[in-house]
Structures are given as C-alpha cells and as structure tokens.
C-alpha cells in the first residue's frame, strides 16, 4: 500500500498546525442568532396551533350536525311509531330514555343507548335543545345545539332545519 506524500506528516511541513488553527477559527452561533431562531420557531408553532384550533372547531360543528341529523332521527321516529307521536317539548329528549308517566303503557324503550343513563351533551358541553311541535320544522320536531357561543337563537346554532 502506498501512502500519498501529502498525507504524511513531517517536521518540515506546517500543515498539521494550519489544520488545527482552522478548527479553532470555526465560528459558533451567537446568542442573538439562537434567539432569532427560537422566535421564528415560536411564530411557526403559534400559527400551526391557531390553524389546529380552527380544525377542531370544524370537527365539533360536524359532530353536532351528525348527532342532530343522523343519530337522533332513528330513536325519535321509533318512539313516534310505538307511542303515537314525538315527545312533547315538556317531555323532551329524556322521553327516549325514561317512559313519560302518561305514555308508559305504549313506551317500549329506551330508544337511545347512552352511558350512565344521561343524555349526551353537545361538543361544547351543553345539552341539546328540543321542541315539538317545531318552529322551524312545521309538523315535525326541532332539535339543535346552541353552538360554539353557547347562546340560543344566534346564527351559530346548529339545528335540523
């Protein structure tokens, strides 16, 4: 095996000293540069969290729509077929879980499967609203969530109308 003469160290050559002085002159990051990079990373994380919040809000709205328009439809219509009509506003959605006093002979429920015997809450932790006869659905029922602002009667309400 032959060794290249340029790679062999000799006392006459000053290459080794030149290499070590180059390593010593490698520049490190300053504190200011590190702080700027951290600030940029913080901005990027802030933007991504903001966008993620919008995605979560959209998912909550979709969850409420699915519950109102799909999940509650079958239990309410089954109740109507067996009892003769939808639950009244006073009876509310609780009539799907517990027989109303004046309809106990026809009630064959529970019509809705829930954990703990309580009605599910909307994605914002509020109870779903129910009205029969409906104001928006004449001859039918209204069921809705008060939406993200938790105030009834606003534009952000999510209903079956």
Q: What is the pLDDT of residue 129?
A: 95
Helix (H) or strand (E) holding 66: helix 31-66
CA-to-CA dists, residue 21 to 14, 24, 75, 106, 134, angstroms: 11, 5, 81, 95, 85
Output the tens digit of pLDDT for each of the chain's 161 residues: 555 555 555 556 555 555 555 555 567 778 888 888 888 888 888 877 766 656 567 788 999 999 998 889 999 999 999 999 999 999 999 999 999 988 889 999 899 888 777 889 999 999 999 999 999 988 899 999 999 888 888 888 999 98
Total-model pTM: 0.62
Tokens of 57: 């809000």
The pLDDT score that the predictor gives to residue 70 is 87
The count of residues in the chain is: 161
Class in CATH terms, 31-159:
alpha beta
Alpha-carbon distance of 146 to 151, in angstroms, equals 5
Contacts of 99 by beta carbon, 8 Å cutoff, 6+ apart: 107, 109
């Amino acid at each position: 095996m032959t060794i290249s003469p340029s790679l062999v160290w000799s006392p006459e050559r000053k290459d080794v000293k030149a290499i070590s002085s180059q390593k010593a002159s490698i520049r490190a990051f300053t504190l200011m540069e590190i702080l700027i990079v951290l600030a940029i990373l913080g901005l990027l994380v802030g933007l991504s969290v903001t966008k993620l919040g919008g995605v979560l809000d959209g998912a909550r709205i979709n969850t409420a729509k699915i519950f109102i328009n799909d999940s509650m439809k079958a239990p309410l219509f089954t109740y109507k077929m067996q009892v003769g009509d939808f639950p009244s506003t006073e009876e509310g959605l609780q009539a799907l879980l517990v027989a109303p006093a004046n309809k106990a002979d026809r009630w064959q429920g529970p019509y809705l499967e829930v954990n703990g015997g309580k009605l599910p809450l909307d994605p914002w932790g509020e109870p779903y609203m129910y009205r029969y006869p409906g104001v928006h659905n004449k001859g039918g029922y209204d069921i809705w969530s008060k939406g993200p602002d938790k105030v009834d009667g606003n534009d952000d309400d999510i209903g079956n109308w």
